[in-house]
Copies of this chain bind each other. A is one copy, B any other.
Amino acid sequence: MINARKPHRSGRPRAGEGRLSREAILRAALRIVDDEGVDAMTMRRLASTLGVNPMSIYHHLPNKAAVFGGLAELVFADLESAPPREDVPWQEELKAAARAYRDALRAHPNLALQILSDTSAVSEVVVTTVEPFYRALDRGGLASRQIFEAVNTIVDFIHGFMLGETAVRADTFELAPDLLDRVDNLPAGKAPTLSRVVRDLGREGLHYDFDTGFESALTVLVHGIQKTWT
């Protein structure tokens, strides 16, 4: 219970004292989520951080879901300012859009899962956030329907990727101890190809690097879009 202030006594806030506002509440909520994770972000905890009665929050946001919805906005707000770049091939522009999108989610790892699983938050925010993808693919000469499908594919990939990335703390993690063990403990012949691949990679020191994995996937996706639709 760090940062807790005494609740006001009843009635209007004293003059000069910062009053509660949607923005102040969301800022405090984001801090809690970033520092301690989504489970720590309870309405009671949030109120205590703000030095306020739990119920006061409900005058600015209708419920807890709305708090997380507001946080989704906050996270994607950083993303809207990416400037058009016509000095690189459209393929590079597309990759840049994907990297920016990933970075926005990565800036608040504890929040990513919450955002990705909140339908209304995602759809609300994705709309205003995908323009760079659309622009790049438009420059690539794709038809509207193709642009639409391609963007969905890339965005879905990024979401799935972030699910994995934000679930793990480090940028790089050793699959070897974990994965090799598990594969070795499988009944013989259960997953022969998987076993062989994992052992092959084990030799070169099986570590997984998220940046490399992301770039590798972007290459595949861009190649695929090109081959399918240009």
Contacts and interface: CB of A to CB of B under 8 A. Distances in A.
Q: How many copies does the complex hold?
A: 2
Given A163-B116, A221-B224, A227-B227, A127 B213 contact: no
A190 B82 CA distance: 12
Contacts of A113: 117
B144 A155 contact: no
A75 B194 CA distance: 21
Given A157-B156, A160-B159, A220 B150 contact: yes
Interface residues of A, number: 61
A113 B119 CA distance: 11
Q: Which of A116, A122, A160, A222 has the most CB of B within 10 A?
A: A160
Given A134-B193, A138-B193, A225-B220, A156 B149 contact: no
A55 interface: no
